[in-house]
Structure 1
């Protein structure tokens, strides 16, 4: 049975640490602190005799969608019985329920069995930490996306690589429109034209970037139906600049985009879409363009 750990489990967890790890063990005090004050999910697998067969500890990062599998252990004599797979699955579910979009973890470079287990479970290598453990062993970093995947034939969207560092928005618009209208020609002229139309001018010391309202207008003008869902109603990126004059410019552009949208067929909502609503739109052939802050994702 897999359940949330309690304070009463701490002595058994400490003993399990001793049997599973030679270094970098979690202390009794740390287990108690995590349970009482940590932003974490600590699950235990308990056998029919009431013994803890394994545990998973996932840490969450405030203001990001990353979860971290901080520690994971299964009783040595009970391995290869599906306990690790069940625990990892529940840990991922707990992370997903907390809004995490991906799970990251570190594992010793010399632990081939653990690396193989994680890779079979869908984790992919992306980096290393030199001299990470107490005995100076390097750590291999792995990551797995937790969001459900679309089948690749649901929306065959062509790929268009942005040609400039500030044209990610136009590139996404071009790929989405091309998927819905195969006759559309994708080139740098269209890329720059879309950027000029949709820029919010929020990077007032350099090139402007594209926001949802300007992008919606550009796509709508080309004959496509558009919905916009935003998380807040105030001017976007105002807090990104300090100068009051620059803040006024951003607010002015924001207000002008909204005024234009009122005279179009664009649907504007300040409420998030549910999973059911997203699936319904996929079923009707719509293509999402998602604007996110990388800071919100990775801190």
Structure 2
């Protein structure tokens, strides 16, 4: 009966577009522990003194969506090392997919952040906008397309100070002026999942700006890199690993997101700003060869 109930619960979760299940079990309950382990659940945390009799609880998780075939996964994984370097980390993964000789390390992560930072964001260090990341990719010899749904200042909703907003505007204006002097395609519009898939299958590696609220419950802009598709899910590498919630790298690699859910999260701020970068291989020599 326990097996059938668990299978029914997993099926109901999948119908609701849930990609994983979490549960907790008393540490002194071997039959239940064996049941969940037999069905592929992994323990990720122990909570001491959890129940009324002070028994500990073991927390388990299972990904309900199968991993995509390894043959389709061509994007290596790199975990961001700072809370504001998701953009550089996502860009590094995309560049590595197109140039296997590229070495991914923290020096490159911080260098890319310095090149592409918006200076300010929320109450801490600035993140990275699409134009700065695009310039960093171009300088390293990659071709790319930029898709934005408006010409306003990106991520400006993340700050309140008028002075900070003005600094962000000037930084973006400078990036755009530089991009207009380069053979970089800048589109005013957005891409749906089907269009992203076409770009991916043509050899492009998409970086997508999302709102993290639907994943982490907090409203901050976040960059992910697309790693694959199937008829129901888009798969992404999320450079953030939320260790405080018991997550590991496995949770962030090839993260499955339902198509409809991805469409809703691929925007940020009150203005619902959308940004996508598509990186491609190029025969052009890098302008910064010493960075490799």
Report the equivalent of 2:58. Answer: 140
Matched residues in 1 for 2:19 and 2:61: separation? 11
Q: CA deviation at 1:79?
A: 4.2
Q: Does 1:217 align with 2:127?
A: no
- 1:244-259 pair list within 5 angstroms: 244-258=162-176
Distance verdict in 2 for CA 1:270–1:101, change over 3 Å: farther
- 1:1-299 pair list within 5 angstroms: 78-80=1-3, 82-94=4-16, 96=17, 100=18, 102-145=20-63, 149-158=67-76, 166-186=84-104, 190-203=108-121, 207-228=125-146, 234-258=152-176, 260-261=178-179, 264-268=183-187, 271=190, 273-274=192-193, 276-292=194-210, 296-299=214-217
**Paired residues of 1:201 and 1:207 also in contact (CA < 8 A):** yes
Matched residues in 1 for 2:5 and 2:122: separation? 54
Distance verdict in 2 for CA 1:293–1:111, change over 3 Å: farther
In the superposition, the TM-score normalised over structure 1's length comes to 0.55
Structure with more contact order per residue of length (Cα contacts < 8 Å, sep ≥ 6): 2
1:235 alignment partner, SS class? coil
**Paired residues of 1:212 and 1:228 also in contact (CA < 8 A):** yes
**Paired residues of 1:92 and 1:146 also in contact (CA < 8 A):** yes
Report the equivalent of 2:274. Answer: none
For structure 1, the residue ranges without an aligned partner over 5 or more in a row are: 1-77
In the superposition, the TM-score normalised over structure 2's length comes to 0.56
Matched residues in 2 for 1:295 and 1:258: separation? 28
Q: CA deviation at 1:218?
A: 1.8
Q: CA deviation at 1:134?
A: 4.6
Q: How many residues align?
A: 216
Q: CA deviation at 1:126?
A: 2.1
Matched residues in 1 for 2:71 and 2:105: separation? 25
The CA deviation string for residues 257-291 of structure 1, in whole angstroms up to 9 with x for no partner, is 455555643354653532x4444444333334355
Q: CA deviation at 1:85?
A: 0.9
Q: CA deviation at 1:88?
A: 1.4
Report which of the two structures shows the higher radius of gyration computed on alpha carbons: 1
**Paired residues of 1:233 and 1:270 also in contact (CA < 8 A):** no
Matched residues in 2 for 1:233 and 1:135: separation? 59
C-alpha RMSD over aligned residues: 3.8
Q: CA deviation at 1:226?
A: 2.8
Report the equivalent of 1:70. Answer: none
2:92 alignment partner, SS class? helix
Q: CA deviation at 1:177?
A: 1.3
**Paired residues of 2:41 and 2:62 also in contact (CA < 8 A):** yes
The CA deviation string for residues 176-227 of structure 1, in whole angstroms up to 9 with x for no partner, is 2122123445566644442232111124876432223321232134332334
1:289 alignment partner, SS class? strand
